[in-house]
Amino acid sequence: MAYSDKVMDHFYNPRNVGEIKDANGVGEVGNAACGDIMKIWIKVDENGIITDAKFRTFGCASAIASSSMATTLIIGKPLSEARELTNKAIAEALDGLPPSKIHCSVLAADAINRAIDDHLGIERQGDLEVMCICQNITRGEIEHAIAHGAFNLDLIKEQTGAMAGACLGVRCTEHIEELLKKYQ
């Protein structure tokens, strides 16, 4: 597995490590089972500009580099621009990630969105929101599959069993497609 020089730089010299005590937005993603846990704090001024961002990440070199790069990319940006930061943009800013490590950039983008949601007071429906009613597949299960390479409906169906119930995906496909868009 070959890492770019930028990945190695952000791993050995991560930017914005730590936490912001008076943060007005915090996002946490990942779980110990998959091995990567990211927490991102943001400070937003009265004009909606992210003036500071910090992170703490437990994970591999790609997870740390993705967190470092993601925080670097959002500092000084309006919330609307930070919200549009994709995992693809994070990976590209790092001059690429190995295919098996793309999920690290997905987690970083999701942590930023959760921090922004927290700042705005948006209640997430949560990881337990059922997205595929027939198969009882939750949002968290779908996001976990996406974070581990399921970047299309067929792969999500294969990895989770979603869209394979009595409705044949009629009810959930649109919701899962919307979720996929945020990672493309």
pLDDT tens figures, 60-79: 899 999 999 999 999 999 99
DSSP states along 67-104: HHHHHHHHTT-BHHHHHT--HHHHHHHTT---GGGHHH
Query: Beta partners for 44?
Result: 50
pLDDT tens figures, 13-54: 999 999 999 999 999 987 665 568 899 999 999 999 999 999
Closest C-alpha to 135, from 95, 163, 158, 156: 163
Question: Residues 56, 63, 159, 167: what is their CA dihedral angle, to the nearest 10 degrees?
Answer: 50
CA 146, CA 121: separation in Å to the nearest integer? Answer: 25
Q: Which one is predicted more confidently, 179 or 107? A: 107
CA 61, CA 74: separation in Å to the nearest integer? Answer: 20
Q: What architecture (CATH level 2) is domain 5-120?
A: Alpha-Beta Complex (3.90)
Sign of CA dihedral 46, 50, 51, 53: positive
Question: What residues contact 167, with CB distance under 8 A and at least 6 apart?
Answer: 133, 134
CA 29, CA 14: separation in Å to the nearest integer? Answer: 19
Task: Write down the pLDDT at residue 44.
Answer: 95
Looking at the annotation, which residues are catalytic? 34, 104
Q: Which one is predicted more confidently, 104 or 100? A: 104
Instruction: Return the domain boundaries, the chain.
Output: 5-120, 130-181
